[in-house]
Structure 1
Amino acid sequence: MTSPDQAVPAASASVPETPERVAKRRSATRGAFFAEFVDMFDIYLPTVVLTPALVYFSPAHLDPGLAAILTSLVFVTTLIGRPIGAAVFGALADRIGRRRSTIASVSGFGVITLLIALVPGHATIGIASYWLLIALRFLDGICLGGGYTGALPLAMEYSPKHRRGLLGGIILSAFPLAYIVITLIGMACFAIFPLAGAGSPYVEWGWRVPFVLGAVLAGVLALYYVRSVSESEVWEAAEAAKAEGTSQGGSLRPLLAVVTGESGRAFWQVFAMMTGFWLTQNLVTLFLPTTVLRDLVGLPNSQVTVVLLISYVCLVGSYIASGVIGQRIGRRRFFVICGVLIAIVGSVLLALLAGVRGMPFGVVIVVVCAFSVVVTAPWGVVLPYITERFRTDVRASGFGLGFSVSVVIPSFYAFFVAGLSGFLPYAAAAVVLLAVGGLLGAAGAAAGPETRDVDFA
């Protein structure tokens, strides 16, 4: 049997695929897909539906500089909360079980999302309205960071190793699907509830509807885990072995064990790889819609929305395809190839978008779709890979921290672009940063082992 810390996999006996186990795997996979969907749905709520209504929480004549700071805090606090949640709930998932940790975190962000929908405006409680919103988004981020930390490793631990690539791609495809759904809901709310400045129906209460829906989805997800998802048999077996004194896992606390010893080497390798791929991902999800499509290409908001919706539809399929390809050729090889393609092909496509004015709208759609597929290809494979890199007693912590902590440095991508633009044209600086991210991701993957034959059992 091979462990996640061994560079060379070995053959081992597989767990029999009984009808009961197949049913458990399907329930765990559905739960993980739904957890990823609800998590990303909640993440996109402020971006899509709350931004137009932020005037509801602020004074009528707020200084523009202070307004920008308060607006950014709504999003930054969620970002800060996610790694904290991954650490807290990852440790819980390794201590008390993946299922119970998932139920606790999902219930938490369901309640907090509902509380956000009930926050009174500035006219009622003054600037405390804004600080209450920011505090709740921070707590929401903590719980959101725990939602996938238990649910996703649980699904992988039920999956036979030859199907982890496919199932991992399917689960992560919930990310672009969530963006599609929340955007369509936002468009419907804008149409139903007029948005015409402070005092308009949307600003007063229309924005609350998607938050209530998000809370309901979280409640349904928590109930699904309570009634339909079984605890990971791999984790239960590891706990039984630990109780009998036959476990080969470490005795350190999960968080300490993740960053030290053999697991520590896996963590820092995953951290380097994911830092590169988060950097490239941010240039797709954050830099592309605003700076490139709106400012450089000059598209109106309606056309930007259409382009993004079409590209995210493509990503639903490309994530699944990436998972299948990574299973066939190996995760490590797939990441290395993707990193090089991002640095070369992705950079050319970004330079084309940022540097060529007046492209026909149809051409813009094709180029954006191609760019998005190339740059986000690694994400269809990250779920099985990261879970395979850590042993059972620290797997949830390793996955949560490896996935979330690595987002911190790339979140400052705008500062990196601004710094490089002191030596290069602004668009060229973004292209260079994309290439650096792709090569860092490739180098990080090359520094680690192939994992597709790791046997959790």
Structure 2
Amino acid sequence: MESTQSRATAISLAPAPVGSPTSNRSRRATRAAFFGFAVDYYDIYLPVVALAPAIHYFQPASISGSLETTLFYLTFACTLIGRPIGSALFGSLSDRIGRRRSTLIAVAGFTVATLLMAALPGHETWGYGGLIALMGLRLIGGVFMGGEYTSANPLALETCPPQKRGFVGALIAGAYPIGYIAISAVTLPLLQLLPSDGLDSAYVQWGWRIPFVIGGLLGVAFFWYFYRSVEESEVWEKAAATTNQTKAKTPLKQLFARENARRLLQVFTLMTGLWFAVQSIVTPVSGLLISSLGQDADAVTVALLVANIFLFAGYLLYGVLGQRFGRRRVLIITGIATATVAALTFYATLHTLGTGGGLAAATAMYTIGLVVAIGPYGVATVYLLEAFPTRVRASGYGVAYSFSLVIPSFYSFYMLWLEDLMPYEYTPIVLLTLGGLLTTVGALLGPETKDVELA
């Protein structure tokens, strides 16, 4: 596609024979994008899963519970703030110098940042300097993380046969729960083996560093695989060969011109809704369950691990449905379901735990809400990439995907403001409902894209 759907070519690309060079290239690019996204999300959720039981290491003992929770959320939010910056920088870089080279630069950057975080001293040694350094490295790492998926994901989808884009896009997006499962699988045994009670306990003093080191090593492995196995996108190479680089506008200037700008606004609205869903039903949950509702940290880790296994299956299901019935239609329906079904099941989860109910029943209800609200990401990844022409595809995808999370990333402050109107633990439900409504509106404003050619 060299413009939006209205100018898409009618040529149907036949699938490459199994075992052909094109088929092998597509599989390698898909594996790399999936693995890279999984490592990205593993690193993103390090504070939420691995550092949550040891957050006292970076904080003074005298602060209030609400301030402690807010600082914990800000540590996570620093990464989310850095990602839009990285997506804009690397999206433009990817459209100009190629998807492959941009991906390698980005992976090297967030790998170094993750390894540096593993070596940080805590509040006893550096005071608030340790927390500031942690947030600073999370911000820098977020910039490079934004560059990774902004470059690797367009490469994979541009290499993929059209009739498989729905499944491949869902598979790549499904790396999110896989990354979460991986960090949980690393952290849970550590919490079982190492004491995590009190500032002087083994996990609080040094055990939390192990998941960070593993995250850095995964980044090294991904860099090596991508460097050795993945070729540049032929779609990008052909587009670059036909563009006069001396006269062409920069990708970001093209992105904000006319029809591209209208599509950007539409998918930005859609993604803002999806990010509000994440920031309400995913990000604050471990902190709410452990700090506000008094649940055991180990049990919470297991519960969220189980929920994310089902979420991965939900991603694939949504991707297949989007390929068959249309991405736009699936996004409209799931947006409505998020504002209703997901909001009600999340309320039931919190109410059950708040009134002394069992964690198993609460986990089942939470899993339903999680799949309903977050599963649409299995459709959104490919929908965004189909929205823009090749010369601005990485820029458009990166900006729409990442800048849309800026407003939702301040969810911790919205929760504090809403605390004046309702119990603090129920405040995410308001944000979840808002997310569903914005997702529906964003999808209604846009066209169907599943038959658009990327070449």
TM-score w.r.t. structure 2 length?
0.90
Instruction: Check 1:220–1:427 CA distance in 2 against 1; reply closer, same or farther (3 A cut).
Output: closer
The answer as to 2:329 corresponding to 1:333 is yes
Distance 2:135 2:275 in 1: 24
Shift of 1:363: 3.0
Q: RMSD in angstroms over aligned alpha carbons? A: 2.7
Q: Which residue of 1 aligns with 2:346?
A: 350
Amino acid at match of 2:393: R
Q: 2:433 aligns with which of 432, 435, 438?
A: 435
SS of the residue aligned with 1:286? coil
CA displacement 1:234-253 (0-9 Å, x = unmatched): 000000111499xxxx9321
Partner of 1:270: 267
Deviates more, 1:346-355 or 1:316-325: 346-355
Going from structure 1 to structure 2, the CA distance change for 1:287 and 1:381 (only over 3 Å counts) comes to same
Residues 377, 123 of structure 1: CA spacing in aligned structure 2 closer, same or farther, 3 A cutoff? closer
Comparing 280-289 with 22-31, which one deviates more in the overlay? 280-289
- The answer on whether the counterparts of 2:73 and 2:284 sit within 8 Å (CA) in structure 1 is no
Residue-by-residue CA offset, 1:305-353 (whole Å, 9 max, x unaligned): 3322211110111101110000000001110111112222223323333
Q: Distance in 1 between matches of 2:65 and 2:331?
A: 43
Q: Contact 1:351 / 1:427 at 8 angstroms: preserved in 2? A: no
How is 1:227-376 mapped onto 2 (pairs within 5 angstroms)?
A: 227-243=228-244, 251-291=248-288, 295=292, 299-356=295-352, 357-376=355-374
Alignment of 1:158-173 (within 5 A): 158-173=159-174
| Alpha-carbon spacing, 1:428–1:35, altered in 2? closer, same or farther (3 Å) | closer
2:386 to 372, 385, 388: 388
C-alpha contact 2:77 2:410 (8 A) present in aligned 1: no
Distance change >3 Å, CA 4–CA 206, structure 1 → 2: same
8 Å Cα contact 1:343-1:437 kept in structure 2: yes
CA contact 2:81–2:409 (8 Å) conserved in 1 = no
Judge which range, 399-408 or 274-283, deviates more: 274-283
Structure 1 residue runs of 5 or longer lacking an equivalent are: none
Question: Deviation per CA, 1:159-190, whole angstroms, max 9, x where unpaired?
Answer: 11110110111111111111111112112222
Aligned-partner Cα distance in 2 for 1:94–1:401: 13
> TM (normalized to structure 1)?
0.90
Name 1:134's counterpart in structure 2: 135
d(CA) in 2 for partners of 1:300 and 1:329? 42
Return the letter of the residue paired with 1:17.
A
Tell me if structure 2 keeps the 8 A contact 1:109–1:140.
yes
What are the Cα deviations for residues 253-294 of structure 1, in whole angstroms up to 9, with x where unaligned?
A: 122222332111111101001111111222210244444787
1:369-425 CA distance string (max 9 Å, x none):
211111112111111100000111111111111111111112233444554565567
Question: Does the C-alpha gap of structure 1 residues 326 and 77 become closer, same or farther in structure 2, counting only changes over 3 Å?
Answer: same
Q: Secondary structure at the match of 1:242?
A: coil
- SS at structure 1 position matched to 2:155: helix
The 5 A counterparts of 1:49-68 are: 49-57=50-58
Distance 2:390 2:214 in 1: 35
Task: State how 1:403-414 maps to structure 2 within 5 Å.
Answer: 403-414=401-412
Deviations 1:186-215 (A, max 9, x none): 122223333343343323322222111111
Give the fraction of aligned pairs with identical amino acids, expressed as a percent.
42
Distance 1:426 1:202 in 2: 29
- Relative to structure 2, which stretch is displaced further, 410-419 or 14-23? 410-419
How far apart in 2 are the matches of 1:441 and 1:81? 23
In the alignment, the residues of structure 2 paired with residue 195 and residue 71 of structure 1 have an alpha-carbon distance, to the nearest angstrom, of 17
Contact 1:7/1:450, CA 8 A, preserved across alignment: no
Change (3 A) 1:54 1:430: closer
Tell me if the contact between 1:4 and 1:451 (Cα under 8 Å) persists in the aligned partners.
no
1:94 shift after superposition: 0.8
Q: 1:101-145: CA deviations, max 9, x gaps?
A: 000000111112112222244555554333332222211111111
The answer to whether the 8 Å contact 1:294/1:304 transfers is no
Q: Which residue of structure 1 aligns with residue 226 of structure 2?
A: 225
Corresponding residue of 1:202: 203
1:215 aligns with 2:216: yes
Consecutive unaligned residues of structure 2, counting only runs of 5 or more, are none
Give, in whole Å, the separation in 1 of the partners of 2:287 and 2:144: 28
Find the counterpart in structure 1 of residue 76 from structure 2. 75
Instruction: Verify the 8 A CA contact 1:7 1:448 in the aligned structure 2.
Output: no
Counterpart AA for 1:265: R
Task: Report the Cα distance in structure 2 between the residues aligned to 1:203 and 1:179, rounded to whole angstroms.
Answer: 21
Please give the alpha-carbon distance, in whole angstroms, between the structure 2 residues aligned to 1:70 and 1:408. 17
Q: CA deviation at 1:10?
A: 5.4
Distance (whole Å) between structure 2 residues aligned to residue 316 and residue 432 of structure 1? 25
Measured after TM superposition, the shift of residue 439 of structure 1 is: 1.8
CA distance in 2, matches of 1:317, 1:378: 12
In structure 2, the residue matched to 1:23 is: 24
2:36 equivalent in structure 1: 35
Are the aligned partners of 1:292 and 1:353 in contact in 2 as well (CA < 8 Å)? no
Q: Distance in 1 between matches of 2:172 and 2:33?
A: 6
Cα offsets for 1:71-108 (capped at 9, x unmatched): 44422322211111111111111111111000000011
Task: Provide the rounded CA distance (Å) in 2 between the counterparts of 1:429 and 1:206.
Answer: 32
Closer, same or farther: CA 293–336 of 1 in aligned 2, 3 Å? farther
